[in-house]
Structure 1
Amino acid sequence: MKELDPITLSVIQNGLIQVCNEMDLAFVRAAFSPVISEALDRSDGIYAADTGELIAQGELGLPIFVGTMQFSTQAVIERAKEVRPGDIYIVNDPYLGGTHLMDVKFVRPFFYKGKLWAWLANTGHWPDLGGAVPGGFSANATEVEQEGLRLPPVKLFKEGTLDEEILSIILSNIRIADQRIGDIKAQAAALSIGDQRLTELLDRYGEDVVTRSIRELKVRASEQMQAKIADIPDGCYHGVAYVDSDGVVDEPLKIDMKVTSKGNRLHFDMSGSSAPCMGPMNSVLATTKSSIYLAMKHIFPDIPINAGTFEPLDIDDPEGTFLYARYPRPVSGCAAEVSQRIAEAVFNALVDVIPDLLFAAPAGTSGNLAVGGYDPEREKAYVMYVISGGGYGGYREGDGLSNGCSTIGISKTTPIEVMEQYYPVLFEEYSLHEGSGGAGRQRGGFGVNYRIRLRRGEARASMVMDHGRFGPLGALGGEDGGTNKVLVEAGGQAYVPPHLSKDQDIQIRAGDCISVSTPGGGGFGDPFDRSPDLVARDVRRGYYTAEQVRERFGVVIDPGTGTVDELETYRLRTAAE
C-alpha cells in the first residue's frame, strides 16, 4: 500500500474542512433568523460512521459545538434504525449529548457507493423552542420542561421528504412557528451541500486515500496535543471560577478545577465543584467536556481539530456536581454561561505555569437577552435575541481586545440596523464600557454598553448572563475585569434584577428601556508595572478617568496638561511598594 505523502495529507485535511465551511456558508446564507444569519450561532461537521467521532469541523463554526456535536451524533447512532440516504434526524435533548434546548442538531447519514460512510451534522440556535418565556432563556426554571420542547433523535426527513406530522408537533409547541420553516430548510440544505461536496472529494481522491488520511490525521492531532502537553511541567495545578448564581438561589456556584500534568497527558478533576443547583445553570456532561476541549484549543490554537485532539485529555465525570446535569435539571445557561466559567477555571489553573501561552480571563458571557412580543404595526409576533461582546483579557504581549466574541464561539452581535429593521426597537446607545478593562501591566479590553427602547406594543424580556457579581479574573497580579450590569426602566421606575444578570418575564411597554453593560477582560501582570505613558494615553482616549488610573495603576495625571505627573507618580508607586 502506497504511503501517504505530506502534500496529499494536507490536501485531504483542507478538503474535509472546506466541505464543512461550505455547509456553514450555505446555512448562514439561507437561514431566516438573524441569530443564525447574522450572529453566526451555528456549526457544521463530519463524524465517523461507527463511533460518531469528529472528523472535521468548519472554521466558521462555534468551538463549543466541537465536542457536543460529537456526543449528539453518537446518541443518534445508538438509536438510529433502518437508516437510508436522505434521512435527517433532529435532536436537541441536552442529556443526549446536547447543550441547551435552543441548540437544535440535524444529523444526516452520508452514504458513498451504497455504504454508510460518515455522518454529517449541524447545529443552529433557534430563537424559540417554547417554554415559559420567549427565547427559551428561563432564568429561574427549576425543571427542563419549563425551558421548552425537548426532542430525542427522530427522523424529521425520511429519504429526503419532510415528515409533516413531526413538523406539526414541533411547530405546535413553539412561538413564531411560521418563521421556523425557513431555518429548518436552511439547516437541511446545508447538509445536502455537505453530501454533494464530500462525494466529490471521495470521487476525486479515492475512498482508500481519504479513509487512510482521516485515520492518520487523527493520530497526528493526538501526537501534536501530546507534544504540547509535554512542555507543561509535571504537577497538579488548581483553578477556580464562579457562576454568579443559578437564577433561583442567590448564591455563587463554584467550579473547582484540578489539572494534573504528567508526561504527555492532562487529567481534569472537577469533583470539588458545587452540588447540582435548582436553577438553569446546571451543565450537561457533553457541554462540560466540550468546554475543556475548547479551553485547550484556546491555549494551543495551531493544533487541528478532530477526535485525536482530545485523546490525551482525561476528564473525570464530575458526578454529584452541577457540572453533570441529569434529567430533569434545567440547563438553559449551560452552553452560553457555565461553559465559559469552566474554560476560565482551566485558564486560571494553568496561567501561572505557562504564562507565555495564556491570558487573563475574557468577559466570559454571551450576554443572552431575549425580548418577545407582538408588533401591532406588522401584526405579527416576534422574538428578538441579542448576543453581546465583551473585553478579552490582557496577555504577555499586549492589552486585551475590546468588544470581542465570547469564549465559546465566534458569535457576534447582530448589526443593530438589522435588529431595528426586524423588530420594534430602537438602539439609543452602543458604546464602549469605559473603565471595565481590568488594570494590569497589560490591561484588559473593554465591554460594551447598549440601550434598547421598545417603540411600540408590549413585550416580555428575559436574560441569562453572568459576571454580574464577579468580574473576569485577572492574572499574575492583574485586576479583575469590570462586571456585567443590567438596568430596566419601565413605567417610570428603574429596576435592577435581584440576581444582577439573570431574570425573566420582565414586562415592558412602548417607551420602556433596557440598558446593558458587558464585562471587561481581566488585567495581566502588576498594574503598577504598566508604562505611565500608556496609562496617560488611555485617559486621553476616555478609557479611564484620572481618578481611576490613580487608584488602579498608581499614575497621577496632571489636570492642566493631561500628561503624567512623574514626581507624584513616583511617590505614589513607591509608597504602594
Structure 2
Amino acid sequence: MVLCQESIRETMMEVRDAVTAEVVRNALSMAAQEGGVVVVKASHSTFIQEGADSSAAVLDATGRLVAQSTATTLMHAASLRESLRALILEIPTHTMRPGDVFAQNDPFKGGIHANDVAVLRPVFGADGGGPYYFAGTIIHVADLGGGYAGGVAATAQDMFAEGMNLPPVHLYRAGEPESVVWKIIENNSRTPEKVIGDIRALVSGANVMARRVEELVERYGVAGLSQHVEDYIAYTEARMREELRRFPAGTYHGSFTIDSDGIEANKTYQVEVAVTLPGDGSIQLDFEGTDPQARGAINASYSQALSGVLFAVRCFLDPSIPMNEGCYNTLDVNFPRGSLVNPNPPAACGGRIVVVTAAMEAIVEALSVARPDMALASSGIVHLYGMSGVRTGVASPWLLMAMDFGGLGARATCDGPDATGAFVLGGRTAVLQVEPYEAQYPVMIEHTRPRLDSGGPGEHRGGLGIDTSIRLLDQAELVVR
C-alpha cells in the first residue's frame, strides 16, 4: 500500500511538472506574441499597421532565442538574436541598468538594412539582479534618409546610400530618454513624426514583453524560470532532430539563379547549397560556390541569411515546431565570407530578400530531392514598392509603402496557396489594404486581386500571384525593390 501511494505521488508530481512546463512555454510564447502585436498596433506607419512587417522575441542574457512571435513575420528571428550578441559586445551587461533600452540597425552587427531598426530592453529581477533576459522588437521604420524615401534604394551600391546607420546605442538610460539619439534619428528622416512614432512603438512592444517576463521571474524565481527555458529549448531541439532523422542520410544539392542585381542588367548571380544529413538528427548547410557579393543592393547580411536558412528548414520539416534556440542547435551553416549570403561592409543590403529567397529555394530544392513525398516547387517573391511626394498646395510630405506577393509553389500532394507571402517574410505580412491607403495617401486603388492562371498548370498548380493597379492623384516618385 505504501509503495502504491509513493507511485501515485510520483506520477502526480510528474503530471504537475509537465503541466507547469507547458504553462511556462505558452507564457513565454505569448509574451513575444503580445509584444509583436503591440508594435503593429502602435506603429505610425500604415505599412506596419496593415502589413505587419514586425518581429518580436524573448532572448536570454547570452543572446539565445527563447521565444519568437509567430503572430508577425518570422524572418527577423536571427536578426534580434545577432543584434543582441553585437550589443553585449559593445555595451556589456554588467553596465546595464533597469529602464535601459537600446537600438541598432547596422547590417554588419546583427541588423538587416537601414530601415529595419531593432530595439532591445534588458529584463531584471525584482531584487535588481540581472539582466536575465532581453525583450526584442524590430520593424521597417518609415524613413531614415538615404537615396530614396522609405529605404527602397534599388540603385544603392553601398550601405551609406540606404540610410542612417545606428550602432548599438541607448534610447533610454534608467528610464530617461537619450534625447540626443532621438534628435539624430528625427533629423535624418523625411517623415520625422512617423519614424519617431515607429520607434516608440518598438519600445512599447519591448516594454510589454519585458513586463511579462518579469512576472514569470517573480512567479517561478530566476533559477526556476531558467530551468523551464532550458527544458523548452531542449524540447524544440528534440522535435527538430526527430524530424531530421526521417530523412535518408546523404548530401543533396540545390541552387537558384538571380536574374540581376539591379545595377548590372546582364549579369546573373548564383546561390549554391550542399545540404548534408548525417542521419543523427543534425543538418549541415554549406553555401560554398555561391557568387561573391553584388554591387547592387541584393546582398543578405549574415543574420538575414541565417533567418532564411532556419525558416526554410523548420517549415519544410514541421512549421508547428517552436521558434527558439533549439532549432539553431541542430544547424551547422557555412556562409562564405564576402559572398551574397555573408557580404563584407559596406555592401548594400536593402534588397536582401532576393538572396534570402534564393537561399531558401535552394535549400527546399535539396530537401525535396531527399524527400520527394514532401517536395515543394519554387515560389513567388515579394515585391516591395514605395511611392512618395509632397502634397500639392499643402507642402506635406507623404510616403506609401506596400508589398505584393507571388504564390507558394505547388506541393507534392496539393496546390500552392495563393499570394500568401508564406515563403517570404514568414507568411505573416499582408498585401495592400485598400481603405487605409486611400484614406491617408493621394492614391486610388483600382484593384488588388489574384492574377488568374499565374500559378502554372499541373496535377497540382502553384499559388496565384497578386495583380494590383494604383492610380496616382498627385505627383510622386515610384521605386520598386
Deviation at 1:127, TM superposition (A): 2.3
Specify which of 406, 429, 440 is matched with residue 458 of structure 2. Answer: 440
Q: State the distance in 1 between where 2:250 and 2:109 align.
A: 34
Q: Which residue of 2 aligns with 1:25?
A: 37
Residues 181-222 of structure 1 show CA distances to partners (whole Å, capped at 9, x for unaligned) of 221222111111112211222223333322101011112211
Q: State the distance in 2 between where 1:58 and 1:292 align.
A: 18
Q: How does 1:1-400 map to 2 (within 5 A)?
A: 5-49=17-61, 51-81=62-92, 82-113=95-126, 114-115=128-129, 116-250=131-265, 251-263=267-279, 264-299=281-316, 300-334=318-352, 336-363=353-380, 365-376=381-392, 378-400=394-416
Greater share of helix residues, 1 or 2?
2
Q: State the distance in 1 between where 2:25 and 2:73 align.
A: 19
Q: State the distance in 2 between where 1:156 and 1:186 align.
A: 13
Deviation at 1:378, TM superposition (A): 5.0
Question: Secondary structure, in 3 states, of the residue corresponding to 2:51?
Answer: coil
Instruction: Say whether the 8 Å CA contact 1:271–1:319 is kept in structure 2.
Output: no
Deviation at 1:80, TM superposition (A): 1.2
Question: Secondary structure, in 3 states, of the residue corresponding to 1:99?
Answer: coil
TM-score scaled by length of structure 2: 0.92
Question: Secondary structure, in 3 states, of the residue corresponding to 2:151?
Answer: coil
Q: State the distance in 1 between where 2:415 and 2:81 align.
A: 35
Instruction: Say whether the 8 Å CA contact 1:291–1:339 is kept in structure 2.
Output: yes
Code of the residue aligned with 1:295 in structure 2: it is A
Q: State the distance in 2 between where 1:338 and 1:42 align.
A: 20
Q: Which residue of 2 aligns with 1:507?
A: none
Q: State the distance in 1 between where 2:422 and 2:117 align.
A: 20
Q: State the distance in 2 between where 1:353 and 1:221 align.
A: 23
Deviation at 1:177, TM superposition (A): 0.9
Question: Secondary structure, in 3 states, of the residue corresponding to 2:124?
Answer: strand
Question: Secondary structure, in 3 states, of the residue corresponding to 1:387?
Answer: strand
Instruction: Say whether the 8 Å CA contact 2:272–2:289 is kept in structure 1.
Output: yes
Question: Secondary structure, in 3 states, of the residue corresponding to 2:374?
Answer: coil
Deviation at 1:62, TM superposition (A): 1.4
Aligned residue-pair number:
460
Deviation at 1:143, TM superposition (A): 1.1
Instruction: Say whether the 8 Å CA contact 1:34–1:414 is kept in structure 2.
Output: no
Code of the residue aligned with 1:298 in structure 2: it is C
Question: Secondary structure, in 3 states, of the residue corresponding to 1:283?
Answer: coil
Q: State the distance in 1 between where 2:393 and 2:65 align.
A: 47
Question: Cα RMSD (Å) of the superposition?
Answer: 1.6
Q: State the distance in 1 between where 2:431 and 2:187 align.
A: 29
Instruction: Say whether the 8 Å CA contact 2:252–2:274 is kept in structure 1.
Output: yes
Q: How does 1:513-552 map to 2 (within 5 A)?
A: none
Residues 449-495 of structure 1 show CA distances to partners (whole Å, capped at 9, x for unaligned) of 11111102x2211111xxxxxxxxxxxxxxxxxxxxxxxxxxxxxxx
Deviation at 1:377, TM superposition (A): 5.2
Question: Secondary structure, in 3 states, of the residue corresponding to 2:218?
Answer: helix
Stretches of 4+ aligned residues off by more than 4 angstroms: none
Deviation at 1:268, TM superposition (A): 0.7
Residues 97-131 of structure 1 show CA distances to partners (whole Å, capped at 9, x for unaligned) of 11121110001111112111111110011121110
Q: Which runs of 5+ in 1 are unaligned?
A: 465-577
Q: State the distance in 2 between where 1:248 and 1:138 align.
A: 12
Q: State the distance in 2 between where 1:427 and 1:406 align.
A: 24
Deviation at 1:179, TM superposition (A): 2.2
Distance 1:239 1:418, change over 3 A: same
Instruction: Say whether the 8 Å CA contact 1:370–1:385 is kept in structure 2.
Output: yes
Question: Secondary structure, in 3 states, of the residue corresponding to 1:246?
Answer: coil
Q: State the distance in 1 between where 2:315 and 2:66 align.
A: 19
Q: State the distance in 2 between where 1:377 and 1:207 align.
A: 59
Q: State the distance in 2 between where 1:419 and 1:337 align.
A: 26
Q: Which protein has greater RCO, CA pairs closer than 8 Å, 6+ apart?
A: 2
Specify which of 408, 423, 439 is matched with residue 421 of structure 1. Answer: 439
Deviation at 1:315, TM superposition (A): 0.4
Code of the residue aligned with 1:435 in structure 2: it is D
Question: Secondary structure, in 3 states, of the residue corresponding to 2:447?
Answer: strand
Residues 145-199 of structure 1 show CA distances to partners (whole Å, capped at 9, x for unaligned) of 0111011000011112222211111111111112222212221111111122112
